Structure 1
Amino acid sequence: MKIENNVATKALLEIDKSIDALVKQIELLSYVNPINIEEEKARFFSSKYLTDPVFKYPSINFDKFKLHRKLFIQPLELIEDAEIKDFYEDIIYAYSGLIQCVETIGKGKKFYYNCLRCFGTPTENDVENAKFILHFEDENKDVPAFQPKYNATEAEVFFETFSEKYDFNYSIKHSDKMSAIAMVLNNIKTLVLNSHHTYSDNEIAVLTNHEIGVHMVTTMNGMLHPLKIFSHGFPNNEETQEGLAVFSEYMSNNLTVTRLKELAYRVIAVDSLAKGYSFSRTFRMLHNQYDLEREEAFYITVRAHRGGGFTKDYLYLTGLKKIYDYYHSGKDLSLLLTGKVSLEYAHEIESLIKKGLAVPAKHVTDSYSENKNTNKKVDFILRSLK
């Protein structure tokens, strides 16, 4: 469908292009990951878990105030379509919130409160769901599939082989300065692998379906639209994107109780922020009360406490439940693969496609073609979540 060539559409495309140029500078994950995790881990462990780590963060290379100002002078009144105008207002407020997150990284409660505005915090229901999951027994970790085997260079080969089923190219880099074991950097179409981590066969299966099957798929689809906002992200897209990514693990028969418990521990760790826990207290709760092995407890605590209190981690579980229910209600998942979009804007995505301002998903997550899950316990848990 051709885009209408009128003044209002030209104004919309100009505004979208202008926002695109501004938000390219905001990759929150690039700034919120500490650059001295391993050094501080050694110091924390030698202190017998009593001295909180002092994390350092990458320096910010943009003028924060200027970025705010340029966002808010966009002439939205030129957009005649009320639905699209409201959508772009939401976008500007969401990105202003992300800038405030970036500019307060490492400033304790200021960062935490900005994160609350952007990502929210677990509800009582979310915490109850997490505790419900933690009642279940882990899979047998002695099974060969769970044994660490591959360094980052060896793991890279598996990602490259898996990606052959998709019609796109991307870069792979290694980093020793990240709390995740792998992540996609959307802005530069790059998969980053943690060079400190040794990957198991199970982790490779999980990560290929999660990072490439969803995060890279939505990165590539997002670049195909007349509107650039599909590439940089709708408001609140993190919950939908992480939900889709973990759901890809489920559909490919790689979602385990152990993995669900990892997501549950993240909810518990983020909830500890709301309770005012320090880093060391959250760690001791996970390690002593929940009996988590200390390396895992440390990295889950880092994920929640980095920056001063990063609440995003609880959204993996809430997002998974929403996508699970969406799929089982018979709705079309490919609509949510059109870019870095949000479930709550599904109507707007359909509307933009009809108006010729967006296109259907070209790349579709391979695992979504057939439900291969055979884990009845995982199904029971997901059905039972409130």
Structure 2
Amino acid sequence: MKPQVPAEYAHIYKIDAQLDRLLKNIELLAYLNPNNIEQEKKKFFGSKFTVEPQFTYTRLKFNAFETQRKLFSLRLEEIQHEEIHTLFEDILYHYSAMVQCIDSIGKGDKFYYNSLKTFGTPTDRDVQNAQFILHFKDVLDEGSVKKFTADQAAEYFAEFSKNYQFNYKITQSTRLASDAMVKNSTKELLLKKNGKFSANQLKILAHHEIGVHLLTSFNAASQPLKIFSNGFPKNVETQEGLAVFSEYMSGALTLKRLKTLAYRVIAVDSLRRGCSFTETFMQLHSDYKLNRDDAFTTAMRVHRGGGFTKDYLYLTGLKKIYNHHKDGNSLDDLLTGKVTLKYKKTIQKMEDLGLAIKPIHHNIAYASNDNANDKIDFILNNLK
């Protein structure tokens, strides 16, 4: 049950509700996942890596210009509390940039520059961290064999979800850029319909998608303010960092998984250097010896829309959350919704004011550190 609205903050709730109505259809990945991944993959492989994929995307369900106009017509001056006013102002600018991002999907450089504005791009240090991870030799593991179908994965996730007191829908889709993802607006777990999953990957996805992404969706739904559901500015780095950290704490994080995150940094860096899809693919497949299916998926994730830079944030987010936890800090306030580490003190202030509540659902992996791989700790401790 949500707490009663304090009368002195009625204006905050009014603006929050107005903002929520404007942001209903603004979920970037719902528009950015290509409709024809498998068809273009088949053509690309059939051409022996010479024909650039031509991805198609879902049409917008909102008027981008009108949405931005309404965003900037919100009367933020009514919010007298300085810290919360700053948060809402940052949210407004963040979603204005997000609207521009969605509106420019498939429009080449226009989308790429909007992506840069919204998500940034890896620094030289980030690239060095990725290369540091990739220099470690692979370790063969029986748990890495992909032998489980999407139906079997759905059964696994349903059983795993008994650890949590929330209900959600599992849907299979052929339009995913990854093996699984959470659709925040519908609190839905989407699985790649034709995908194959390894035993350890199922554990990774369970702790990542259910233990963090779905959990924060349900925690956000219990909050008095809708901004916890719609998302704080630049929350991707924190949310993905929490999700990969959940993999680590559960003992599921492997060198192979870390290398996947490192390849993503390399791919985004190739985008920054002006490489085409084929050039990014060949760098991963020929230079780094990544198998062609994973190289295609990694290149597609980065080049979709016209150049999507988000993927480097998984590794930077993991390092920040790992350090934050190692320094003895609680992660509870970061599970209150789709929030950002930068605003942790603001969240705590909002809890003091009755504008937010502590998380109802807690990540089971965070209760104890089950990582038994010294190499993983060595790597995480030595990332710059």
Please classify the TM superposition score into its range, dividing by the shorter chain length: over 0.9
Correspondence 1:290-305 to 2 at 5 A: 290-305=288-303
Q: What corresponds to 2:117 in structure 1?
A: 117
Task: Find the residue that maps to 2:274 and give its secondary structure.
Answer: coil
TM-score (norm 2): 0.98
Task: Find the residue that maps to 1:149 and give its secondary structure.
Answer: strand
8 A Cα contact 1:44 1:53, kept in partner: yes
Task: Find the residue that maps to 2:190 and give its secondary structure.
Answer: strand
Q: What corresponds to 2:91 in structure 1?
A: 91
Matched, 1:278 2:280: no
Which piece of structure 1 moves more, 313-322 or 58-67?
Answer: 58-67
The one-letter code sitting in structure 2 at the alignment partner of 1:383 is N
The one-letter code sitting in structure 2 at the alignment partner of 1:38 is E
8 A Cα contact 1:139 1:256, kept in partner: no
Q: Residue deviations 1:303-350, cap 9 Å, x none? A: 000000000000000000000000000001111000000000001000
Gaps of at least 5 residues in structure 1 are none
TM-score (norm 1): 0.98
- Aligned equivalents of 2:4 and 2:155: distance in 1? 41
Q: What corresponds to 1:106 in structure 2?
A: 106
When the two structures are aligned, how many residues end up with a matched partner? 382
Q: What corresponds to 1:330 in structure 2?
A: 328
Q: Residue deviations 1:63-113, cap 9 Å, x none? A: 111111111110111111111111100000000000000000000000000
Matched, 1:359 2:357: yes
Q: What corresponds to 2:252 in structure 1?
A: 254
The one-letter code sitting in structure 1 at the alignment partner of 2:320 is K
How big is the shift at 1:3? 4.1
Q: What corresponds to 2:29 in structure 1?
A: 29
Correspondence 1:1-386 to 2 at 5 A: 3-6=5-8, 9-140=9-140, 143-386=141-384
- Aligned equivalents of 2:4 and 2:33: distance in 1? 42
- Aligned equivalents of 1:358 and 1:223: distance in 2? 11
8 A Cα contact 1:3 1:355, kept in partner: no
The one-letter code sitting in structure 2 at the alignment partner of 1:11 is H
Q: Residue deviations 1:108-151, cap 9 Å, x none? A: 000000000000000000000000000001220xx331111211
The one-letter code sitting in structure 2 at the alignment partner of 1:308 is G
- Aligned equivalents of 2:326 and 2:179: distance in 1? 30
Percent identity over the alignment? 52
How big is the shift at 1:4? 2.4
The one-letter code sitting in structure 1 at the alignment partner of 2:115 is C
Gaps of at least 5 residues in structure 2 are none
The one-letter code sitting in structure 2 at the alignment partner of 1:39 is Q
How big is the shift at 1:2? 5.4
- Aligned equivalents of 1:334 and 1:267: distance in 2? 28
The one-letter code sitting in structure 2 at the alignment partner of 1:344 is K
Q: Residue deviations 1:181-219, cap 9 Å, x none? A: 000000000000001211111110100000000001100
- Aligned equivalents of 2:138 and 2:364: distance in 1? 27
- Aligned equivalents of 1:313 and 1:324: distance in 2? 18
- Aligned equivalents of 1:179 and 1:196: distance in 2? 12
- Aligned equivalents of 2:238 and 2:343: distance in 1? 10
Task: Find the residue that maps to 2:7 and give its secondary structure.
Answer: coil
Task: Find the residue that maps to 2:266 and give its secondary structure.
Answer: helix
- Aligned equivalents of 2:171 and 2:240: distance in 1? 21
- Aligned equivalents of 2:279 and 2:86: distance in 1? 43
The one-letter code sitting in structure 2 at the alignment partner of 1:247 is F
Task: Find the residue that maps to 2:181 and give its secondary structure.
Answer: strand
The one-letter code sitting in structure 2 at the alignment partner of 1:239 is E
